[in-house]
C-alpha cells in the first residue's frame, strides 16, 4: 500500500487528531512535537513555550483514497487559522497554526489554499515550514478523545471553502 505523510499544527493536538483521524483515507495519526530546538521534548517542556515546538499531528494517509489537499482543507476547517499562537483558550507558541510540509507539492497546495482563504477575507496566520524531526508525544496523549469518550473543546468543523 502506498502511504504519504502530512504534519499539521492547529492548537491542542488532541482536537486536531480527533478530526483528522476520522477522514477517509487516513491510515494512522500520531500526536507529537515538531518545529523546535530541543531534542526529544516532553509535554511539560513544550508547555513552557521555551522549546519552540508546536503540538502537531502526523497523518499517514493512502494517496489512492485521499490527498493532501483534502486533508489540508479539513485542517483549515477544524480550527481558526487567523489566531496567532493560540486556539480557543489555549495560549502559547506551542498552539500555533502551522503546516510542516514534506515536499514542494504540499507547500504549493497549502499556499494555494491560504490564498483562497485570504481572497475570501480571512486574515490567515498559518505558517508554512519544511518538516523536521517529529517527536512522538507521551502515550496518554495518543487517541485522547477516543479514550476519553468526549468531544474537543476548542476545535469544531466550520466550512471555509
Residue 115: the pLDDT is 98
The model's pLDDT over 93-103, given as tens digits with 9 standing for 90+, comes to 999 999 999 99
Look up the CATH number of the domain holding residue 61. Answer: 3.30.1060.10
Report if residue 57 sits inside a domain: yes
If you search the block for the grid coordinates 530541543, which residue do you land on? 38
The total number of structural domains that make up the chain: 1
Report if residue 22 sits inside a domain: yes
The model's pLDDT over 9-30, given as tens digits with 9 standing for 90+, comes to 999 999 999 999 999 999 999 9
pLDDT band of 153, cuts 50, 70, 90 = confident
> Which residues are tagged catalytic?
12
Residue 154: the pLDDT is 85
Report if residue 112 sits inside a domain: yes
Residue ranges making up the domain that contains 71: 4-148
Task: Judge whether residue 59 has pLDDT over 90.
Answer: yes
Report if residue 114 sits inside a domain: yes
Distance from C-alpha of 43 to C-alpha of 55, rounded to nearest angstrom: 9
Report if residue 158 sits inside a domain: no
Tell me the whole-structure pTM to 2 decimals: 0.96
Backbone phi, then psi, for 136, in 5-degree steps?
-65, 135
Amino acid at each position: 500500500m502506498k502511504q504519504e505523510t502530512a504534519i499539521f499544527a492547529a492548537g491542542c493536538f488532541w482536537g486536531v487528531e480527533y478530526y483528522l483521524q476520522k477522514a477517509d483515507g487516513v491510515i494512522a495519526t500520531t500526536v507529537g512535537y515538531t518545529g523546535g530546538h530541543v531534542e526529544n521534548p516532553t509535554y511539560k517542556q513544550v508547555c513552557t513555550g521555551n522549546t519552540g515546538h508546536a503540538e502537531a499531528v502526523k497523518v499517514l494517509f493512502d494517496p489512492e483514497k485521499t490527498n493532501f489537499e483534502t486533508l489540508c482543507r479539513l485542517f483549515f476547517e477544524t480550527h481558526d487559522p487567523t489566531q496567532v499562537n493560540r486556539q480557543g483558550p489555549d495560549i502559547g507558541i506551542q498552539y500555533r497554526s502551522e503546516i510542516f510540509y514534506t515536499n514542494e507539492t504540499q507547500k504549493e497546495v497549502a499556499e494555494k489554499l491560504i490564498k483562497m482563504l485570504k481572497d475570501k477575507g480571512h486574515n490567515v496566520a498559518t505558517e508554512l515550514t519544511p518538516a523536521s524531526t517529529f517527536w512522538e508525544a507521551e502515550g496518554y496523549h495518543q487517541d485522547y478523545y477516543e479514550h476519553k469518550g468526549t468531544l474537543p473543546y476548542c476545535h469544531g468543523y466550520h466550512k471555509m471553502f
